[in-house]
Structure 1
């Protein structure tokens, strides 16, 4: 059955999977138990990211007996960001929920996040906060705390727990963001850049009981590099001249002052040809000019990108008069029979 021919569900749950064969049956069971008692129709997009432990075969087996499970199979291991994006590209619900497949997130907390979105129109994204983390390894706790503070400070999106995979979004926010590389860690920052209003709620966290953790302390260095990209993306994506040109002016200013001082020295009859300071001044001015030119080229490329691709420079939402009517009953969404989708 083609999933696109069935009515769209209320909620699309996206779970990236990599070598979690032992957790899959319990994961599917617990997600079903959590959602079947709710007034939402739902689908589960289980994205297998090139697993080598039999997860693909297990998903096919589970999908045969679970009508609301839609497996998505990637050709090889692309990484968590690509797996999430593959799921985001296929969601159909008005709400989107993400969580990990290792059962450290609690599926029973999904209704908690959805209820916040359903009852609070001023919230577009609800991020889980593992207030009582059950990770025993210091190699996971310490880097996570450092990363959370660093990311919050640099991006201005203040969350206790950027690393919690359990999150819920309104569909328009998901439609506005794209994940590349390893940017899944920065989804709240990307969502904020797309206009999302974000809140955080405490959720339960469990120790891993099966499978092997895919994270280590080495990811801290990758987080720092990705953070530089995110800060640039959020602040200077539409004005690269301010980034490159600003840095260029900072270099040109001391370089110009050095050269002016050396000119005065030269005019007084002293030789400046053998002074290292001359080389420093010339290099600073040349580097500054190059950065300003790079900023100008970036400005032209930015305009070509937006004008030729039709990509919006901003996101907006227009309200009709009926949206402000008091005591307006919520829209009714008929339950949707889900279908199995297997994409190779």
Structure 2
């Protein structure tokens, strides 16, 4: 049977990175789960330039079903860019995102679908128990805290990689051009928080390999989030500049006051020079922060950069 793109109801978009051992089971379980719901669906797998045999396996799987679209990126652009690429080719009225490592259960897809049909625009899967190491869970919780604080998302909304979104939200997300992609930030700009909710799903122990997320990855993502989606660094620099300037001013006034009381106390000298330099330095830092804020706002409006480059594609 031909796969009619005009009638596709659900698109399952999955970034792939070094997952050759789980891909066949993943695709087969998704097919089994989705055929119980509808035949109008597609699976889009984006290989983020894996160094194992994932791409060759994807090409073999592509030949077995007309429900599968596969994309190979020219180099490793990261999970968020890979998903953005998949979004660009998704035809479904609802887009489902999940991981490639089988820790998200394809059998839970109907749970997400049932919840979004209640009138929500975004539904995140929320795990009862998350089967990661204690260290990874610790950094994951800190990372969640960063996301909620910086993006001003209510703390009762759990952000996960297992999510379903309405097509209009995804269309808004891919229309926002940015050099540094962070999908929860694009989502937050595209839908009111009252239209976002959670539903409880299963998180499975990892069957193959190890997680691609480590301390370095979480720190890198947190830094990207702080720099590109908040004014926190600029605020810190500005406050530090104000503190130095006020401290220098206070110290300078104390020197002048001492001179008034005791004219024999010399105003000129190293003390005065250090006060002047400190005050000047603080003022410069504060000025840089102000200029930086203007630049940030300009970059938010006109961002540049190549988000992803496709090497091969089979639709």
Please classify the TM superposition score into its range, dividing by the shorter chain length. Answer: 0.7 to 0.9
Contact map agreement 1:16 1:84 (CA 8 A) in 2: yes
- What's the counterpart of residue 128 of structure 2? 131
TM-score calculated relative to the size of structure 2:
0.79
CA distance in 2, matches of 1:105, 1:304: 36
Cα distance in structure 2, aligned partners of 1:216 and 1:301: 29
Q: Aligned Cα RMSD in Å? A: 3.5
CA distance in 1, matches of 2:207, 2:298: 51
Please state how far the C-alpha of 1:73 moved relative to its aligned partner: 0.5
1:100, distance to aligned residue in structure 2 (A): 0.5
User: Contact 2:81/2:181 (CA < 8 Å) preserved in 1?
Assistant: no
The alpha carbon displacement at 1:188 in A equals: 3.2
Tell me the distance in 1 between the aligned counterparts of 2:253 and 2:105. Answer: 66
> Aligned with 1:193: secondary structure?
helix
1:32 aligns with 2:27: no
Residue 283 of structure 1 corresponds to 278
Aligned to 2:306: none
Q: TM-score, normalised by structure 1?
A: 0.73
Unaligned 5+ residue runs, structure 1?
310-340
2:252 matches 1:253? no
Counterpart of 1:119 in structure 2 is 118
Structure with more contact order per residue of length (Cα contacts < 8 Å, sep ≥ 6): 1
Find out whether 1:80 has 2:51 as its counterpart.
no
Change (3 A) 1:297 1:106: closer
Q: What are the ranges of 5 or more consecutive residues in structure 2 without an aligned counterpart? A: 304-311
SS of residue paired to 1:65: coil
Residue matched to 1:54: 53
| Cα deviation, residue 266, structure 1 | 4.6
- In the alignment, the residues of structure 2 paired with residue 221 and residue 139 of structure 1 have an alpha-carbon distance, to the nearest angstrom, of 13
Matches within 5 A, 1:1-344: 6-7=5-6, 9-39=8-38, 41-120=40-119, 123-135=120-132, 137-157=133-153, 158-159=155-156, 161-162=158-159, 164-177=160-173, 184=182, 187-197=183-193, 198-229=196-227, 232=230, 248-266=241-259, 269=263, 270-276=265-271, 278-280=273-275, 282-296=277-291, 298-299=293-294, 302=297, 306=301, 342=313
What is the distance in 1 between the residues matched to 2:121 and 2:101? 26
Task: Write out per-residue CA displacement over residues 12-66 of structure 1, whole angstroms, 9 at most, x where no aligned residue.
Answer: 2210001111111111111112212224722111000111221111111111121
Deviations 1:105-150 (A, max 9, x none): 0112122212222222xx3211111212233x32322322333345
Aligned residues: 299
